[in-house]
Chain A
Amino acid sequence: MDKKTVTTIAYLSRLAIDPKNEDKITKDLENIIKFVDQLDSVDTNGISVLTNPLEKTAKTRDDKVTAKNRKDTFLERAPESNEDYFLVPRVVE
């Protein structure tokens, strides 16, 4: 873990790192990664992954429309919107 890696993953996470904290964050992340490196000691050859403790296939429900149009309810919670859309700064000049 070095500052360059931290800068890359911060960008992937769309987070800005305060230059004042860069050293501390790099050191913390390095320590955490060292800590989880203990997992290397285990032989996991042929062991299947466990992604969810239930391991059941999600049940499907009848393919019927149940949602109501609540456009106004949701748009009014947006930081910026017009009658139909969420608004963000212009993307295409």
Chain B
Amino acid sequence: MSIQFKTIKDLLTMLKNKDISNKELVKDTYSLIKSNVHLNAFVTLNEEMSLKKAEELDKNKSSGNLAGIPIAQKDLFCTKDLRTTCGSKMLSNFIPPYSATVIENLENAGCISIGKTNMDEFAMGSSNETSFYGNVANPWGSNLVPGGSSGGSAAAVAAGIVSAATGTDTGGSIRQPASLCGITGLKPTYGRISRWGMIAFASSLDQAGPMARTAEDCAIMLNEMCSHDLRDTTSLDEEIPDFTSDLSTSIKGLKIGIVKEFDLSMLDNSVAQVFEESKKHYESLGAEFVEISLPNISLSVPTYYVVAPAECSSNLSRFDGVKFGKRCENPQNLEDLYIRTRSEGFGDEVKRRILIGSYVLSAGFYDAYYKKAQQVRRLIKNDFDNAFKKVDTIMTPTTRGAAFSSGSKGDDPIQMYLEDLFTIPANLAGLPALSIPNGMVDGKPIGLQLIGNFLQESKLLQIAHNFQISSDWHLKTPSGDIN
């Protein structure tokens, strides 16, 4: 029985019924990785250790909730004794001495970390074209981008290689690739999942989350990924519910907010049409639509492109060629060591963001840019606080369109930045948000975004699951020939 395109739930049943052994499951996963090598979804594989763990599981049954499930880990999470590059030349030789809390939690639940997925360098990008390890192809078409930055994870799930993967989301890096690859991805509330062992990009925005074929599988993953972690001071000490328990509860009477300021006529006709059809679908499930206003929402992208580069320039100052990672050859003196190591180790987009960050944090411009952006960030958050007095969730398209061709955004970084127009606001406000496949445009999948109030992941997953048990967009699989 093929394991391709199976959900976590399917695989757990197959393992339980002994339709497949743990070792066969891992072997079949590597066969799929090898037959999909053109996607370039993986940077590093963990084959020997994975087979060993599977053999152990075949001998000694584990009680873990995800025992034997192969998971692809974004190459941004530190994995003990397994190379972690963050998509950068800078870390091409980095073998972490410890694992991220998320990795530990998943492995303690019995997951098998099958390999590390390709990504935009240091998670900076929306198309997976900034990785030092090459572009990732979208399984729906080899010339299409998978989105980014968690593009390798999204491609691996969309191609049916693994049932689930980990991702991280600073401005849309889980939801945007989920939309472009036709899968489900959740960015939880800021602080829900520990950031310990995640290579930091923008610390006040970064959040890890699950990427899978269904909302139900995302809930199963989230159950294992969350924990209160003393090693991360922003890790929330809140009750962690069973995220699967309310999935099937009816959403009759649910109030869904539609953002007045998002003018959908600026989107492709077909994208706006898909969105309208999803509204009708939710109406048929008993939901009501309420127009809400987020007056400052149009300032989200400019706010983000001050806050994120500022935090990035600070976080990435640790890569100096002294303690770990690459060092330039034959440094003449200490300053030469720093400058050449960083100039050789970072790619263009990372350098660009470090430069913007240094600029907005520099003495003469701090108030005009950094402080100003943090004040506008407050206004954006206040807008959400007001909106959630009236509605249970806010619905938007995840992206402005379906997957675009590699290289098509040209040389203008701002065009790429606008790719995250709909996803950035949830990061600025720290809110949970997810993307589910809700239609096709020109034969390519597209996603619907649902944003929830603080700690309302269960509700978001319930709203998404209700859609998925009454539609089949999430069941579509790529044929790989769309341009």
Contact = CB atoms under 8 A, between A and B. Distances in A.
B355 interface: yes
A87 B326 CA distance: 14
Nearest to A21: B348
A31 B360 CA distance: 14
Contacts, number: 161
Nearest to B372: A39
Contacts of A65: none
Contacts of A21: 348
A79 B340 CA distance: 14
Contacts of A25: 352, 355
A39 B322 contact: no
Contact of A89 (B94, B320, B337): B337
Contacts of B376: 39, 42, 44
Interface string A7-25: 0011011111000010011
B261 to A, nearest CB: 14
A29 B378 contact: no
A25 B342 CA distance: 17
A12 B233 contact: no
Given A36-B303, A39-B302, A73-B97, 7 more contacts: A13-B355, A14-B338, A15-B342, A29-B359, A32-B356, A74-B97, A78-B324
B134 interface: no
A89 B331 contact: yes
B413 interface: yes
Q: Is the interface of B mostly helix, strand, loop or mixed?
A: helix
A86 B378 contact: no
Nearest to A66: B230
B378 A15 contact: no
9 contacts: A32-B305, A33-B359, A36-B303, A47-B378, A52-B234, A54-B190, A54-B234, A54-B236, A70-B97
A29 B374 contact: no
Residue of A39, A40, A73, A77 with highest tally of chain B CB at under 10 A: A39
A52 B390 CA distance: 24
B334 interface: yes
Given A73-B97, A79-B321, A15 B343 contact: yes
B249 interface: no
A44 B337 contact: no
B351 interface: yes
Contacts of A38: 299, 302
A14 B321 CA distance: 12
Contact of B204 (A10, A53, A58, A79): A53
A27 to B, nearest CB: 10
Given A15-B343, A52-B234, A31 B414 contact: yes
Most B C-beta atoms less than 10 A away, residue of A14, A37, A38, A58: A14
Contacts of B351: 13, 15
Given A13-B355, A32-B305, A78 B337 contact: no
B259 interface: no
Nearest to B427: A53
Interface in A45-69: 47-54, 58-59, 61
3 tightest CB-CB pairs across the interface, nearest first?
A: A53-B430, A79-B327, A49-B374
Contacts of B342: 13-15
A44 B204 contact: no
Contacts of B233: 58-59
Nearest to B228: A59
B147 interface: no
Nearest to A41: B299
B355 A6 contact: yes
A37 B299 CA distance: 10
A44 B375 contact: yes
A28 B233 CA distance: 36
B197 to A, nearest CB: 15
Given A28-B413, A29-B359, A88 B302 contact: no
